[in-house]
Amino acid sequence: MTGHRPYSAPAAGITIAILAILVLAADQLSKFFALQHLEERTTVNVVGELLQWHLVFNPGAAFSMGEGVTWVFTIILGLVALVIVYLGITRIRSRAWAIVLGLVLGGVLGNLTDRLVREPGFAVGHVVDFILTPWMWFWTTPAIYNVADMFIVCGMISVAVLVLIGINFDGTRGAKKAEVEESVDE
């Protein structure tokens, strides 16, 4: 055990929901301002070449991969959101997992919203990206992303950390007693 009382189902669900709503709001508000104040494909220096604004409409995934199958990303985002909601309702009893999944869900919903409501149409909308960090180029075109992407990436890194340090969905640490007993019996 982690030494903490397990989070109740309602507490976990409320944590996930509140964080998802806050991230979704931050993402959509930042995209609103980007659309109001930036010209498409024009770079604005914020902090030299460290941070720039550069508005683009992304039909694909990271680095615009898969531009011809935008609807597939819509389905994947929808499924990820449903899985997180399902886990939140049925399995999550850890504060850490609730926080991480709430932040990831908010990011997923931010990009899913773009896919559903933006041009060129329902389920094939292009995601609004505007944050440019030329120094983060990964040996290809520079990364241009949005607030939702930041929460998805940081959230998935956090998921990996929680898994690596052995925090279970219910807040316990390491293998559960039944799993340990099964492995001993074999």
Catalytic residue numbers? 129, 149
CA angle 90, 91, 95 (to 5 degrees): 120
CA angle 135, 137, 139 (to 5 degrees): 130
Backbone angles phi, psi at 24, to 5 degrees: -60, -45
Residue 149 CB: number of other CB atoms within 10 A?
20
The encoded tokens of residue 102 equal 């709430």
Sign for the pseudo-dihedral over CA of 78, 80, 84, 87: positive
94-99-104-109 Cα dihedral, nearest 10 degrees: 110
3-state secondary structure at position 129: strand
3-state secondary structure at position 28: helix
